[in-house]
Amino acid sequence: MLNSLDILKLCEQLNRREVSAREVMQSCLRRIEVVDSRLHAFLNVDAEDALAQAEAADRRLAQGEQLPLLGVPVAIKDAIAVRGHPLTCASRILGNFVSPYDATVIEKLKAAGAVVFGRLNMDEFAMGSSTENSAFGPTLNPWHPEFVAGGSSGGSAAAVAADECLAALGSDTGGSIRQPAAFCGCVGLKPTYGRVSRYGLVAYASSLDQIGPLTKTVADAAIMLEVLAGHDPRDSTSVPVPVPACVAALQQPVKGLRVGLPKEYFVGGLDAEVKAAVQQAIRTLEAQGVEMREISLPHTDYAIATYYIIATAEASANLARFDGIRYGRRVDGADPIELYNRTRGEGFGAEVKRRIILGAYVLSSGYYDAYYLRAQKVRTLIRRDFLKAFEQVDAILTPTSPTPAFRLGEKTADPLQMYLTDIFTISCNLAGLCGISVPCGFASNPRRPIGLQLLGRHFGEDTLLRLAYAYEQATDWWKQKPPC
């Protein structure tokens, strides 16, 4: 089946003209038809537009054009603007919004020849760890329908794992690419803060958000990153540094690289099967000459508290724009204040409201210093922990999540329990580092994927991908397909 190919193999076949881009797109659409009424990875698919793009790609392929993603179907998280397509952030408040412009990453995908299609399900405004906060219903885990796909990019991870597309874009504010990738059994890369433009990504927490790819292989993540990365004058936080040759870096040996094992990450609360899988992964890398060192990240225990203050503070400001005046849904009122109150009260779901209230509170007069300013200072200490660790090691290895995918509904009644699941992914965003999750085994009863997380230095994606590739090539977890 063409939809089950990875980018690398598909491009070989497309370039040899053995298959057409239209056939590949058709194959993805058929797959969506078969599985997505159950999985609910997609909120919207414009099949006609996707096929028209694929046919255009076929004409360019026939002329011998060479582009990194020519004819490759890539699906998009519903938080990233694609001109002429709906954008809802899985929220009711955006109503029938249609994006008037392309995000920079979409311009880049199109320039690289990709067939950009579909709107992928997510937690509303990327706030959540299970995609259960979507206003349009959760995405199910392709490995077992009673378990969550993870979040917030649950639709992206499930669509890639279930072969509904070749690759997908997600966004990661506290683990929203890596955790669902781990839960669904695909590769998820969160680039360094500033590596990829956020222009056209609906902002949740601007100092933490980063767009990245979810793919079937590490090589595909490298191909995608080379397309997506680069300075963008339209995002003043994108950093003007050169984009490394990530694909070429994959072939370099990993012997002699030093990898840190943070002692604070291998403690209580870690699922036994996850622990065993990660320990096996450590041995696999050691066998290739990678040197493991115990390190300490002493402020790990404060990361979740720091994150939920900073992220909600930024969210309360960012989501002020959804006021029912310029776009989206409006619920009328006698005066503007009543209009705002009703529009936002009816338009936002419970988790978004909770985070806006928490954020407004920690920024409010009398509490700013005690909460927000203090959290920003602890963030400095968390960042310093990593900078110090990276003086001794080239990367850091941890589980992506303390447990495999949990059951639907298991944590929805208790927001704090849901927040605590992000313990291993959140620090990376606070420090602005790059991180990747790759499949490293399976939990039993029922069988669910386990993810290995590697964290790299600021702008160190080449080394990160090289290590992830070496691990992937020595194992075959990534070759296994879900039963859906």
Partner 1 sequence: MTESGMNVHHVAHLARLELSQAEAAAFQTQLQQVLNYVEKLKEVDISGVEPTAHPFPLENVTRPDEVRESLPHEEALRNAPARSEGLFVVPKIVE
CB of 310 to partner 1, least distance (A): 9
Catalytic residue among 27, 152, 153, 437: 152
**Phi, then psi, of 71 in degrees rounded to 5:** 85, 10
**Separation in Å, CA 478 to CA 32, 229, 283, 394:** 21, 25, 18, 24
20 counts as catalytic: no
Of residues 307 and 471, the one with the C-beta less far from partner 1: 307
- DSSP class of 372: I
Catalytic residue among 153, 156, 176, 238: 176
Q: Which residue is it, tokens 């209009």?
A: 339
CB of 82 to partner 1, least distance (A): 14
Rg of the Cα atoms in the chain: 21
Of residues 71 and 328, the one with the C-beta less far from partner 1: 328
190 counts as catalytic: no
**Phi, then psi, of 264 in degrees rounded to 5:** -70, -15
Maximum separation of any 2 CA atoms in the chain, in Å = 70
Q: Which residue is it, tokens 């009424």?
A: 37
Of residues 100 and 253, the one with the C-beta less far from partner 1: 100
Tell me the C-alpha distance between 81 and 74, whole Å: 14
Of residues 258 and 354, the one with the C-beta less far from partner 1: 354
CB of 346 to partner 1, least distance (A): 8
CB of 370 to partner 1, least distance (A): 4
- DSSP class of 478: G
Q: Which residue is it, tokens 């009673």?
A: 146
The residue type found at 1 is: M
Task: Compute how many other C-beta atoms are within 10 angstroms of the C-beta atom of residue 262.
Answer: 23
CB of 373 to partner 1, least distance (A): 6
Catalytic residue among 27, 77, 190, 216: 77
Residues 201-214 as b or e (16 or more Cβ within 10 Å = b)? bbbbbbbbbbbbbb
Of residues 12 and 338, the one with the C-beta less far from partner 1: 338
Is 13 exposed, middle or buried (CB count within 10 Å of its CB: 0-12, 13-18, 19+)?
middle
152 counts as catalytic: yes
Known catalytic residues are 77, 152, 176
